Structure 1
Amino acid sequence: MSLMSLNGHPPKALEALRRFDTCALANAIERCNVRPRNEGFTSGSANCQFPHFPPMVGYAVTGRIQTYMPPMTGKCYYDHKEWWEYLVQIPAPRVVVLQDFDNRPGFGAIFGEVHARICKAFDCVGYVTNGAVRDLDGVERTGIQMFAGNLSVSHAYAHVVDFGEAVEIGGLRIEPGDILHGDRHGILSIPNQLVERLPSLAERIRLEEEELFDLTEGPEFSVEALGAKLQQFAERQ
């Protein structure tokens, strides 16, 4: 995706997505048949570090890192001027996504409290990696969500190798500017064309589920009643 084409959606559109968890939005995306059901979300290697946080929604800022193999190219991540110049070209709110492609991913952590505070000042709301993170207490105080494969006590040889291209985290291919929604269940990529449609569809599905729950808790629940209700839902789609 060209950076020139990244103008972003109205803030209220992303805020509407934050009212729902990833599962609810995944259900809504499935109804739209815009992609295969086995694509568009992470599966392993990116675990939510603060499951009590509300959903994270933002535009992906992508890069690749190494933490085990020296030598470092340049100084550490926060001294990488070109990286920060690239980051601010992506619309806010931003989610930093760094794939650790070393032969020992997650050996060291590039993201901790210092980087979280810098990213917070740059309107970032989350960090996603298949590698490691650290400084959990300090990062938690910033309000930035983190998804990671593991924890590490050290930076080791952490450094940014390149940025601005597609990366892959937990089986999810992420392009610069992709809209990511994340919570304790994992990370979901939101199709750009569905951003403003998904909240109303997710709410409709939630109401259908409430109907089903009411049926299961009532005296008239039976195989026949369940079949009739599910048929009713199918006819509404």
Structure 2
Amino acid sequence: MIDADLLAKLATYDTPTICNALEIIDSSSRLSGFTKRPLVCPFPDLPPFVGYARTATIRATHAHELVGDAAREQRLGYYEYIATGGPNPGVVVIQDLDGVDIGFGCFWGEVQSAIHKGLGCSGVLTDGGIRDIPQWAPGLPVLAGSIVPSHGHVHLDGYGKEVRVAGMVVRSGDLVHADNHGAVVIPEDHAEKIPDACGLLERKEAVILDMARATGFKFEDLKEALKKQEEIH
């Protein structure tokens, strides 16, 4: 677990910048660890969110096999896991297992967003459906596969295990960063290096951006800027 100051610092960067920084730290990050398919972001003006994954899977195309006390115990176990199942803040990452019917029914809406915000979650990531956008818990960011009206037979399939959302593999306890662009898993041994990598990126990009935005920018200026950029380490 990283310290609170570093966690807060990571939340000041957008997710593309985090991805770029990870590529500097470990070039293999270009191929894995991030969402690879588009997700819906109904609140794009909310800031990035970062926290430790609480994972679960859902289904909605058929009724739950568990009923009565068994279903109730599963739900309570899930909520206990959300509240106490790892470091805080938690980021809820839920995979919809309905295959070609993914997003058939919503787990997420007014009630679940309020519950999870109240239990200390900093954000939601799912490839399933969401609804109740006007009634959604204020300030709780979410990325989802779709916005749909019904919950169908939605129920928990399981929780606390590895999931895959929009092509990104997430394990319970993984450090996840997300914003309106998508999400990325930050290996904890890379987290401390990210601020320095972001600083390097900013310095390199500033050389290009300052010149490109200047009045009278031309090709020769670009050549000069690219040369200067190569000298920044």
Regarding TM over 0.5, the answer is yes
Say if 2:181 is the partner of 1:185. yes
SS in 2 for 1:157: coil
Cα distance in structure 1, aligned partners of 2:36 and 2:72: 27
Name the residue aligned to 2:212: 216
Say if 2:83 is the partner of 1:81. no
1:195 to 185, 191, 194: 191
Does the 8 Å CA contact 2:114/2:137 hold for their aligned counterparts? no
Cα distance in structure 2, aligned partners of 1:183 and 1:64: 22
SS in 1 for 2:64: coil
SS in 1 for 2:136: helix
Cα distance in structure 1, aligned partners of 2:38 and 2:67: 28
SS in 2 for 1:35: helix
Name the residue aligned to 2:146: 150
Q: Quote how far apart the aligned CAs of 1:163 are.
A: 1.3
- 1:95 is aligned with what amino acid? V
SS in 1 for 2:210: helix
Cα distance in structure 2, aligned partners of 1:81 and 1:219: 62
Query: CA deviation digits over 1:134-156, x for unaligned, max 9?
Result: 11122252x11111111122221
SS in 2 for 1:46: coil
Q: Quote how far apart the aligned CAs of 1:130 are.
A: 0.8
1:12 to 5, 9, 12: 5
Q: 5+ unaligned residues in a row in structure 2: which ranges? A: none
Name the residue aligned to 1:107: 104
Name the residue aligned to 2:136: 139
Does the 8 Å CA contact 2:107/2:155 hold for their aligned counterparts? yes
Name the residue aligned to 1:160: 156
Query: Which segment is superposed worse, 71-80 or 123-132?
Result: 71-80
Does the 8 Å CA contact 1:54/1:183 hold for their aligned counterparts? yes
Query: CA deviation digits over 1:3-31, x for unaligned, max 9?
Result: xxxxx211111110111111111111111
Say if 2:19 is the partner of 1:26. yes
- 2:58 is aligned with what amino acid? I
2:168 to 168, 172, 194: 172
TM-score normalized with structure 1 length? 0.87
Cα distance, 1:79–1:33 mapped onto 2, change above 3 Å: closer
Cα distance, 1:60–1:222 mapped onto 2, change above 3 Å: same
Does the 8 Å CA contact 1:45/1:169 hold for their aligned counterparts? no
Query: CA deviation digits over 1:172-229, x for unaligned, max 9?
Result: 1111111111111111221211212212321331232222112223468544443343
Does the 8 Å CA contact 1:96/1:124 hold for their aligned counterparts? yes
Q: Quote how far apart the aligned CAs of 1:72 are.
A: 4.6
Once the two structures are superposed, the pairs formed by residues 110-121 of structure 1 within 5 Å of their partners are 110-121=107-118
Q: Quote how far apart the aligned CAs of 1:128 are.
A: 1.1
Does the 8 Å CA contact 1:46/1:128 hold for their aligned counterparts? no
Q: 5+ unaligned residues in a row in structure 1: which ranges? A: 1-7
RMSD of aligned alpha carbons: 2.2
Name the residue aligned to 2:122: 125
Equivalenced residues, count: 229
Say if 2:43 is the partner of 1:50. yes
TM-score normalized with structure 2 length? 0.89
Name the residue aligned to 2:225: 229
Query: CA deviation digits over 1:70-120, x for unaligned, max 9?
Result: 235246789711112222121111111110111411111011111111111
Cα distance, 1:167–1:84 mapped onto 2, change above 3 Å: same
